Structure 1
Amino acid sequence: MTEIERKFLVISDAYKSEAFSKTKLIQGFLNTHKERTVRVRIKGDSGFLTVKGESSKDGLTRFEWETQITAEDAKELLNLCEPGIIDKIRYEVKVKNHIFEIDEFFGENEGLVMAEIELSGKNEIFEKPDWLGEEVTGNLKYYNSQLSKKPFKSW
């Protein structure tokens, strides 16, 4: 249940025309401790509860456990979350053998667009599309749990 992912800023909206999927996400955090976060998410018509562990020193890996719950339960749990709800649209883009998830943020994080790619190994090679910008893997201020507390517009 360990995920390996890298995060990047996005420098153009060219990914939108390449996307095969577009989904609205609303999420909040029941807990944002650095050693563990507990996230509630509504993705389309489904709800999810996710527990994430502390990131490795390089920010590439961390434990993640997720289970699907009803959207109604997720809506109720969002009422218990810490202040700072994340509102975004996720686009999915296939580039060769990988899928990039690109999040366009709204509300207090409007203007921020980030891409994530999950890898099977830390040194796995992948193609970087032209719209991919600076890598921000391991930079805590770009974690959604931190964006809920200190949004992009306040930087």
Structure 2
Amino acid sequence: MQSPDMQIRQFMAYLLGQAQSIEAVEPLIALLEDENVGVRGAAANALGKIGDRRALPHLEKLLLHDNRQLVVWAAFALTRLGEDYFHVLVNALRSDDVHIRRSGILALHQLGDTRAIPPLLALRDDGEKRFDGDTTVADAVARTLADLGYTD
């Protein structure tokens, strides 16, 4: 967790989340203060996956962050912990930033909550991509809607 390489710190946070070890909660909470937003997001996701409510106040602090991507990750983790921040994820779908919209779609997909269907329908014609070779927002929405059981 002390590596100077942010990719290693980010991957370690991911692995700790996969292990779902209660012993990882405190180190992951510490990573929520990392200088790199990707590491902080990975730590938030891991804490949501582990499900320990000691993370709640630390994740709630992230909801006030200037980085909207980090706010989406925090809201996703909080929702996985049983808090109702679903509206924050839905608000991400309205962002002008394609990265934030895609993060919101991914979070809603992973939650598997059918309340996401109406706001997702509004993005079915969104042809924007994050980068060349990427799928469109509309493609991600179509996959999510299908997995949520929506049919035209």
Question: Which of the five TM-score ranges fits, normalised by the shorter chain?
Answer: under 0.3
TM-score, length-scaled by structure 2: 0.23
The structure, 1 or 2, with the larger RCO (C-alpha pairs under 8 Å, 6+ apart) is 1
Query: Which structure is higher in helix share?
Result: 2
Query: Which structure is higher in strand share?
Result: 1
TM-score, length-scaled by structure 1: 0.23
